[in-house]
A = this chain, B = another copy of it.
Amino acid sequence: MAFTLINPDSLGAPSGYSHGLVADATGKLLFIAGQIAWDQRQKIVSDDFVEQFDRALANVVTVLSAAGGKPEHIVRLVIYVTDKIEYRERTREVGERYRKHLGKHFPAMVLVQVAGLLDDAAKVEIEGMAVLPA
């Protein structure tokens, strides 16, 4: 289940993601709902952006694991934030938390600042897709 990362020189070296990822469609597709920093009681675990990022990504991995997948099976992540300044100012910490959960697997990503997330206390929501071995 090896994926091929696509990072053309002409786009410059991506930091923390890949410009493209090719997966054989012979496996199974896992669609992961947007995850925020909810605990089991569906309460946001912290006001802190980095802690929220950590938990939201942990929740993505929880779904992935429950489906029998591993971090290296993720093909796409979409990160919705409510404050891009906060994201930028704490990029280093975000990167540490990322690697804690997903190691050095960097799939295709999107990051946009939205006008709001459904839970007013949420600062980040992460959606994912994975291709699992058949």
Where the two chains meet, the residues of A that have a C-beta atom closer than 8 Å to any C-beta of B are 4, 6-12, 14, 17-35, 38-42, 59, 62-67, 75-76, 78, 80, 82, 84, 87-88, 107-118, 125, 127, 129, 131-132, 134
Contact = CB atoms under 8 A, between A and B. Distances in A.
Given A20-B30, A113-B118, 8 more contacts: A11-B59, A12-B42, A20-B63, A22-B28, A23-B29, A108-B127, A112-B118, A113-B114
A7 B33 CA distance: 10
Copies of this chain present in the complex amount to 3
B29 A28 contact: no
Given A25-B131, A29-B25, A66 B20 contact: yes
A88 B30 contact: no
A38 to B, nearest CB: 7
A122 B129 CA distance: 26
B19 A63 contact: yes
Contacts of A17: 33
